[in-house]
Chain A
Amino acid sequence: MTPTPPALIARNLTKIYGEGDLLVTAVHDVDLEVARGEVVLIMGPSGSGKTTLLSMLGGMLRPTSGTVVVDDVDLTTTRERDLPRLRVHKLGFVFQDFNLLSALSALENVELALNLANVTGADATRRARDLLERFGLGERLDFVPGNLSGGEKQRVAIARSLANDPAVVLADEPTANLDSKIGHEIAQLLRQLAIEEQRSIVLVSHDPRLKEVADRVLWLEDGTFKDLARMTTDPVCGMAVAQQDGPHFQFDGTTWWFCASSCRDEFADDAQRFAERARATA
């Protein structure tokens, strides 16, 4: 039996902005494979190249070098004018802040994505309604985003991302701006989509709660994936941080790592409490 190829393959992906003294390497020589049905969480500090990587994986940004293959189609050799059509059919997007179109109802937001794939009229309405009902939004079809809660908006956004049955869903901070309960629900929903529909899901997030639904967690820093074994969680703010060269503090025989010196100072003021809480969470 031939093994199923990964839904998403990135090889030696590099993106360099500017030139000369202003040259910035946002992503450097990144390799990534995401199998069908797999959830990959990419974490990393601000400015680490997550958005650039996501844009390249989503066919919105041409890499300086390297390749991106989505569902057997090489995005890097695809003509510019054909990329929008590929995004419609091969990729689903979930944006931070939901990014629904404010003038459209929940139903129309999903329908619009179908229209882009030339699915219109009753067919589009039926498919959009089915998706929204599946995510428990059957009573909210005609609500505009302004009248939906954060969790509902994100579920509409997920429904929209699935409208054209993509092989890969790219989600940027899907749990940002959601409280922990709703964030947990959204995370579970994404996990469920991967398992039940064999979709590959790439999550980019600062939220360590998403680790629980991820098959793999990758740490992106300075444009390259770092050894995750060296990653830990800031016991104050919960952010993932590298166990090297950053602010740290010795307490109770353990070295604690922080995202910033302010977190370290806060920890130092009440180390016992933070340490107990961190051990309980772990």
Chain B
Amino acid sequence: MTRSVPLARRNLFQDPRRAALAVAGVAVSLVLVLVLDGVFAGAVRQVTAYLRNVPADLIVSQQGVRTMHMSASALPDGSIERVRGISGVAWVEGIRFTTATVRAGAGRQLSYVIGYDTDTGRGGPSSVANGASPGPGQAVIDEVAADELGIGVGDKIRVLGRPFTVSGLSEGGTSITNTTTFIRNADFAEVRGPSLSYLLLGTEPGVKVTGVARRLEREISDVTVQSKEEFVEQEGLIMKDMSADIMQIMSIIAFAIALAVVALTLFTATLSKLREYAVVKALGAPSSRLARTLLVQATWSVMLALILAVALSFAAAALVAAITPNVLLRIETVAIARVAVAALVVGTLGALVPLRRIVRLDPASAFQT
């Protein structure tokens, strides 16, 4: 395409201060959306960190239970033996799970408490930064929670109503909502009874995971079988269900602010140039061409705002990570793409009001003084 005079760009940047204010105004609104989305994505990432790191191919839970978060699962007695007997299953590990409060002195943290077999280590912390796996009467807590509770290895905590000594500090187990504490399966069973909550299982090499899952479902009717990926997805969905309304409201407010800024900026900019638009019309520009100019102007505004917003959001993510390690602000590409599309829609809507003025503009008004 051959170059034409970039009227939209020239108009937009003729007054750099006004352009900067408009772009900044829209950018702030988009930052709000991106940060909200980032907090949510970070929280999902953190909440599912344990599941993503367990070595299992399949996870078996009580029938109808598909998540850990906001759920309680108790498997029927003998489940582990029945699962072990299914063809293609290489190993099975039972874990116990509940949500409880970890107390240390006056401090308290809401925590997933996971009982696991410390001999195999399956279902335990993916990495212990300091100290060792828990022995009898011992617990591994996440280093971020330990820091917030002001405790370290060797200190005492209370979990499930009884004291434990911290044997080690794990990594990556604290989220915006809770932390993770690991104890021995036997200690968990002593307090909460013998029922297992979930079974983690690995399949034999070369065996199709989906095939094993189907066999499990066919032969053991009173459990729910999901691949690790499905379980992680379900965990993300329950997080989304819990926060969808507030996220949606906040996003709508942010986009409404962006829309108002774009519309107001374009409207005032158009009003201040009505005479010039009339001249262009008088010279022979059809309304469609002027409409295109306005839309290009709106697109420039929101795209520059988006670039600024993405940069500011990444900066905010880095800042948040430095200040509060238990909050993960995760700016995902899909969120940027979603915001970009929404921003374009906002830009287009923002251009509609001035567009109406331009379409109705009388070219003969170019002759009026």
Contact = CB atoms under 8 A, between A and B. Distances in A.
Given A61-B364, A115-B4, A121-B2, A99 B11 contact: no
A85 interface: yes
Interface residues of B, number: 27
B286 A103 contact: no
Contact of B286 (A84, A96, A101): A84
A84 B14 CA distance: 27
Interface residues of A, number: 36
Interface string B310-330: 000000000000000000000
A176 B280 CA distance: 21
A17 to B, nearest CB: 12
A185 interface: no
Contacts of A85: 284, 286
A262 interface: no
A103 B282 contact: no
B10 A108 contact: yes
Nearest to B11: A103
Most buried by B among A61, A99, A113, A117: A99
A122 to B, nearest CB: 8
Contacts of B369: 96-97
B364 A112 contact: no
B285 A84 contact: yes
Contacts of B368: 51
A221 interface: no
Contact of B283 (A55, A88, A102): A88
A278 interface: no
Nearest to B272: A102
B280 A87 contact: no
A78 interface: no
Given A85-B284, A103-B10, A111 B367 contact: no
A116 interface: yes
Given A84-B284, A111-B5, 15 more contacts: A60-B282, A60-B363, A60-B367, A81-B286, A86-B284, A87-B283, A89-B284, A99-B366, A101-B10, A101-B279, A103-B10, A108-B10, A111-B4, A124-B4, A124-B5
